[in-house]
Chains A and B, each alone.
Chain A
């Protein structure tokens, strides 16, 4: 049943894509309707899939080797649910954010439908070739979405970078599935034999998986495509990409590693290391951004890091037979997949409304929007609190699970091995990440929504359109719900962890105390704040005192860059900023400007220069094609002689 529903939902998404191409502007709303209904049906399927194990189905696809086999287990359903949810909300959001009156509306809707549909099928594909095919289709659809504004060179560049990166990922995936086939003899995800898993093939499979899925998930140092793409795409697309598309990588990694009878320490250690690096550097880079969407993009890297950290803890602990710790790690990591999907989408929706109103992505050109769009501000604030991992919202629950796993590892008996020692680094790493994330989001929320508007656009911003506000409501509710009643998810979590790792135990007793505390806490906080606000609603108002500044201007405000400056300076060793400062000022300084920009170390200082050098080297080879026919004939003769000599061997 679940399989049928999920497939039906996906097909409806595809259908909306088709419809968007044929119906006229006036009735474009139809596409949204289809998309939404498909999403709801799909969600129903996922909910059915949470308990129904292994519902299978076959779609028509007549190619050699490839079978469009669909199989739904709890893990697939778990990953597919956010896809459908964000598909629905994205469509609702886009209804006003990218109305059919806007140019290329049909284009956006078409590829949005394809992306969501294919994405949901990727997660339930049981045949590896089918998996790869859908995987690449998602990538292509996202490429077209990122490059929606082809007139804008930046968008084009971002889209191309994304396409190149994800195609490399796909080719790596080609290697993965073919190697898997040669190892197992089938085109489906079947467990590896112990012999294979421990052989070089096993390690090769692991590294291929790390690269392929790492690029997709945007883990450091494979994240190069991510910030630009998230920044350039239409906001609801960014929400989907950051919320669910990059989770494909996590899903793939979990799926492939679930095939190993035993995951050796070094694999878990690699995952954990990458997780820690991604989380800390991700948030560090985020702090340095002044483009709202790039900031959110780097936070995606951070959260992917947290997820990987959880998984890494799980794999290592399982390897040492510590069931409880493994359970906590896996559960934390996987739950964070949902949480990040929810609050990141929420944040992107909020950011989108702000950008929609101010026509800029520069944080320091906004400000004071909370007074003009209070609901959006409230939504963004919820997201900000949640992503900072603060109680009583959902972010805290997943991070807490990973924390507890880390603590238990320290408390428990000591084991040997560098991978084990890595476990001890989890807690401090999370602590640092959490604190920095908090700083970053206070900065973002404060600079965008609080204080005085810094530009005229910001000052004249109006309330966001209804559909854009509506799309945020379910996300806010979900963030609160998971934070307040985490126990409700305990059975699902133990089921998916069992699928992912074979470890299985209940989390009810672990999560119960959190639930006992969270609800009252949330209630008391809400009461106190609202009581104070209501009591002082008539309080006399005047200009900010600020130690007696008579006429503070908006430009006096502490900007987002200045807020983060000290913290960013700590990371200068890994992310040197490029500063364009006026040199020695003359005695009577004229107008001077200071601008700082944070290049992505891996991309701008590593990859691009390398590629340019490669191109130069390739250019050298061009003299081979010199245009002289005699020379070409010489090649012919030389080849002939060489092959003759070969044939004489």
Chain B
């Protein structure tokens, strides 16, 4: 039951999150901007379109979008969007990280499958930055697990008010570093510029250059959902847990869109970092969350 609910929420709300971000950026830039639901239009259009494949590619090229799509949905099932997660068991947060790693494996492999210089470059960057982001994510989990004395996402993310009071600093640090990870994992500014047109600067976008039609739709949808899931992850840490599932959903959604707005703000006030700076920022994020661990341990 909750499973269907989770899937429904993610499938439905993820594109809207993108819309929120773009809208925020537009407003900040003083433009009207595309409608909030623009992403739905794009997806619908893409799924109606035909597909052209590179003659170089093999089935791996198509596995990329498919896997990332499934994985995003799967990750949604691990989140306690409605109070408790459909798939909850001790150690599920490890699975949560590793399914995204699986998706990364296939998206990057798909990129290399085209045998193009740009897409290989994108893949290389994706791999590099992700391997720096992963420790940050895990340090966060470690700290939260310590705080909540549990290994289940549902309870780990249900940070009680007492916990907030007792170890505020640590939790703030975690939220901060996870927000950075969110930006990196979903290749937003300052790590990557989703709507740049200079391939040399891109990470995620450049990897999917050769996708078209439904597969490309899947790619877009998957990345939207991934963003949503990460936003939800951060949101859960912030918002308190309510008794009624639907209240929970509402609260979570609210927080998620708030984060979307925040992302939009960041993107409109910041410029892309030079690539050499990116690792430094990510390592900083790791150190921040590592410090959080130290805080909760003593």
A and B touch in their complex, CB below 8 angstroms: yes
- Knowing A428-B139, A517-B87, the reply to whether A451 touches B123 (Cβ < 8 A) is no
* CB atoms of A543 and B131 under 8 A apart: no
Chain A residues with Cβ under 8 A from B115's Cβ?
Answer: 367-368, 450-452, 544, 552, 554, 557
Most chain B CB within a 10 A radius of its CB, from A403, A424, A431, A557: A431
Chain A residues with Cβ under 8 A from B127's Cβ?
Answer: 438-439, 442-443, 563, 567
Chain B minimum-CB-distance residue to A565: B124
* CB atoms of B131 and A439 under 8 A apart: yes
Question: What string of 1s and 0s marks CB contacts (under 8 Å) between A534-555 and chain B?
Answer: 0110011111111101001010
A451 to B94, CA, bound (A): 32
- Knowing A450-B112, A544-B116, the reply to whether A434 touches B101 (Cβ < 8 A) is yes
Most chain A CB within a 10 A radius of its CB, from B112, B128, B297: B112
* CB atoms of A542 and B54 under 8 A apart: yes
A390 to B95, CA, bound (A): 9
A436 to B74, CA, bound (A): 24
* CB atoms of A390 and B98 under 8 A apart: yes
Partner of B98, one of A396, A443, A543: A396
Chain B residues with Cβ under 8 A from A567's Cβ?
Answer: 127-128, 131
- Knowing A407-B91, A546-B118, the reply to whether A539 touches B105 (Cβ < 8 A) is no
Chain B residues with Cβ under 8 A from A169's Cβ?
Answer: none
* CB atoms of A424 and B98 under 8 A apart: no
A519 to B116, CA, bound (A): 35
Chain A residues with Cβ under 8 A from B51's Cβ?
Answer: 536, 539-540
Is A445 an interface residue when CB atoms closer than 8 A count as contact? yes
Q: Identify whether the interface residues of B are mostly helix, strand, loop, or mixed.
A: helix
**Inter-chain residue pair count (beta carbon < 8 A):** 242
Q: Which residues of chain A from 169 to 199 have any CB-CB distance to chain B below 8 Å in the complex? A: none
Chain A residues with Cβ under 8 A from B142's Cβ?
Answer: 407, 410, 424, 427-428
* CB atoms of B131 and A432 under 8 A apart: yes
Is B135 an interface residue when CB atoms closer than 8 A count as contact? yes
Chain B residues with Cβ under 8 A from A410's Cβ?
Answer: 142, 145-146, 293, 297
Chain B minimum-CB-distance residue to A525: B70
Is A205 an interface residue when CB atoms closer than 8 A count as contact? no
* CB atoms of B215 and A536 under 8 A apart: yes
Chain B residues with Cβ under 8 A from A414's Cβ?
Answer: 297
* CB atoms of B120 and A533 under 8 A apart: no
Q: How far is the CB of B31 from chain A (nearest CB, A)?
A: 27
Most chain B CB within a 10 A radius of its CB, from A381, A404, A432, A435: A435
Q: How far is the CB of A320 from chain B (nearest CB, A)?
A: 16
- Knowing A411-B145, A446-B113, A544-B114, the reply to whether A435 touches B102 (Cβ < 8 A) is no
Chain A residues with Cβ under 8 A from B120's Cβ?
Answer: 446, 451, 557-558, 562-563
Q: How large is the interface on A (under 10, 10 to 19, 20 to 34, 35 or more residues)?
A: 35 or more
Chain A residues with Cβ under 8 A from B112's Cβ?
Answer: 442, 446-447, 450-451, 558, 563
* CB atoms of B62 and A536 under 8 A apart: yes
Q: Which residues of chain A from 362 to 394 have any CB-CB distance to chain B below 8 Å in the complex? A: 367-368, 370-371, 374, 377, 381, 384-385, 388-391
25 contacts between A and B (CB under 8 A): A390-B98, A390-B101, A400-B94, A407-B141, A408-B151, A411-B150, A427-B142, A431-B97, A431-B137, A436-B131, A443-B124, A446-B120, A524-B70, A529-B66, A539-B50, A541-B53, A541-B54, A543-B55, A543-B56, A544-B115, A546-B116, A557-B115, A557-B116, A558-B112, A566-B128
Q: Which residues of A contact B (CB under 8 A)?
A: 367-368, 370-371, 374, 377, 381, 384-385, 388-391, 396, 400, 403-404, 407-408, 410-411, 414, 424, 427-428, 431-432, 434-436, 438-439, 441-443, 445-447, 450-452, 510, 513-514, 517, 521, 524-525, 528-529, 531-533, 535-536, 539-547, 549, 552, 554, 556-558, 562-567, 570
Q: Which residues of B contact A (CB under 8 A)?
A: 50-60, 62-63, 65-67, 69-70, 74, 87, 89-92, 94-95, 97-99, 101-102, 104-105, 108-109, 112-121, 123-125, 127-128, 130-132, 134-135, 137-139, 141-142, 145-146, 149-151, 199, 209-210, 214-215, 218, 279, 290, 293, 297
